[in-house]
Structure 1
Amino acid sequence: MSKIENRCRLVLVAPDIPDIAEQARVLADALKGGDVASVIVPQYGLNETDFQKHAEALVPVIQEAGAAALIDGDTRVAGRARADGIHIPGGADALSEAIERHTPKMIVGGGNATDRHHALEIGELRPDYVFFGRTDGDIKPEAHPKNLALAEWWASMIEIPCVVMGGADPQSALAVAETGAEFVALRLAVFADPAQAPSVVAAVNALLDEKAPRFED
């Protein structure tokens, strides 16, 4: 594990599974597949009460696997579920408020940076990470070219880590790594067939071990 910090690492976006026990089981299995830096838990249209129940079931599973649990959007749910952090999908205003209220106790990142101007605006807030793409943006096999271009520009000049949403094909992780991004987020690439999730996580880690560029210390 010691070498893993110097290359792009995997972030999982929890799958949309309405049954809490099944969602927790599928996620726990996936996390057995290898290194995962963090897991973002989206709300997926659940009301706050149900989202709370899902979060409370998933956060311990994520933390026991050694990953950081990030709740998407709802700071109250994040606090009550004892998550490690909050993923803010909105723009600079929402992120600014969350950073003011919750750092350094919690990880706060996100953004929805759709262009360089918005990315820099978000960067000025000093979040823990900037996210390029949307957590449900994996509608094509490959990562969105615009997000790859933004990540390459960002990674070359700004120290705040960036997370790039990959595509529905696990191989898309390599294109993200090649931009210099610190993290690649995958959802459907890992969870489209839940039974395959652990082996996909293992395969992506092997791919990144073999081919991802290394960061300088």
Structure 2
Amino acid sequence: MADTAARLYLITPVLEDASFAPRLAEACATGAVAAVLLRLGSADERSLINQVKALAPAAQEHGAAAIVSAEGEADLATVAARGGADGVHVPGDPARLRELRDRLKSERVIGAGSIRTKDDAMTLGEAGADYLLFGEPRPDGSVPSLESVVERASWWAEIFETPCVAYAPSLDAVEPLAATQAEFVALGEAVWSHPDGPAAAVKAALEILNRQEASR
């Protein structure tokens, strides 16, 4: 179980080029972001590598790890290694996760999401995931109920040592998710669409996490 405040994990929209880098840098410049999932669209390997090279420093220069996922059939291990990312993120596919683990060894983080059941979560943990992501938006943009994500993250954090990330669809969801003892709380659209900008959203989330930690 986590014995310190949950840390922030940001998830970008699906990116087709590197134009998102300034907004990413603004969010990460707060120094409060532990990791960013760069969701890349479907493109050829060279284009994806170039995107990562252009985007990852916007996070890494502020102390945040850059994790990559991609639509389509991209070779994520190659994209991450040649692009300079810190890790990769895959949908809940134990076979693919094991293959990436064999290739990347312990050199890069491997995360898993799109987890439907508790059995799926345990299988992915056993396959070598470095973290599990619960509650992220589905391909159609919908999200599971907050109650179900709180239940799943609480269950995982209490029993298993592999860290988990709990996705908050809004800033209001940060506090109940942090209370699950999840090591990370993820934010996506709540940061990028915040009326005062990404940095203001990150700072607001950090204040909630710190308040929650102080009240334990």
- Range into which the TM-score falls when normalised by the shorter chain: 0.7 to 0.9
1:47-196 residue pairs with structure 2 within 5 A?
47-73=44-70, 74-134=76-136, 139=141, 144-167=146-169, 169-193=170-194, 196=197
Q: Distance in 2 between matches of 1:173 and 1:117?
A: 26
Structure 1 residues 136 and 67, CA, compared in 2 at 3 Å: closer, same or farther? farther
Stretches of structure 1 that go unaligned for 5 or more consecutive residues are none
Q: Give 1:48 shift.
A: 3.8
CA-based RMSD of the aligned residues comes to 2.6
Q: Counterpart in 1 of 2:33?
A: 36
TM-score of the pair, normalised by structure 2: 0.86
Q: Distance in 2 between matches of 1:200 and 1:132?
A: 21
Q: Give 1:38 shift.
A: 0.3
Q: Distance in 1 between matches of 2:140 and 2:181?
A: 20
Q: Give 1:75 shift.
A: 2.0
Q: Counterpart in 1 of 2:73?
A: none
Q: Deviations over 1:132-174 (max 9, x none)?
A: 133557956986432221111111111110011221x112111
SS in 2 for 1:79: helix
Stretches of structure 2 that go unaligned for 5 or more consecutive residues are 71-75
Structure 1 residues 135 and 152, CA, compared in 2 at 3 Å: closer, same or farther? same
Structure 1 residues 123 and 90, CA, compared in 2 at 3 Å: closer, same or farther? closer
SS in 2 for 1:173: helix
SS in 1 for 2:40: coil
SS in 1 for 2:33: coil
SS in 2 for 1:50: helix
Q: Deviations over 1:67-90 (max 9, x none)?
A: 111111522211111111111123
Q: Distance in 1 between matches of 2:140 and 2:160?
A: 25
Structure 1 residues 138 and 203, CA, compared in 2 at 3 Å: closer, same or farther? farther
What code does the residue aligned with 1:25 have?
P
Larger mean Cα displacement after TM superposition, 50-59 or 32-41: 50-59
Q: Distance in 1 between matches of 2:61 and 2:43?
A: 25
Q: Counterpart in 2 of 1:11?
A: 9
Q: Deviations over 1:4-28 (max 9, x none)?
A: 98111100012345452x3000100
What code does the residue aligned with 2:186 have?
A
Q: Deviations over 1:81-133 (max 9, x none)?
A: 11111111232111111112112111112143211111111121232111113
Q: Taking every aligned residue pair, what percent have the same amino acid on both sides? A: 32
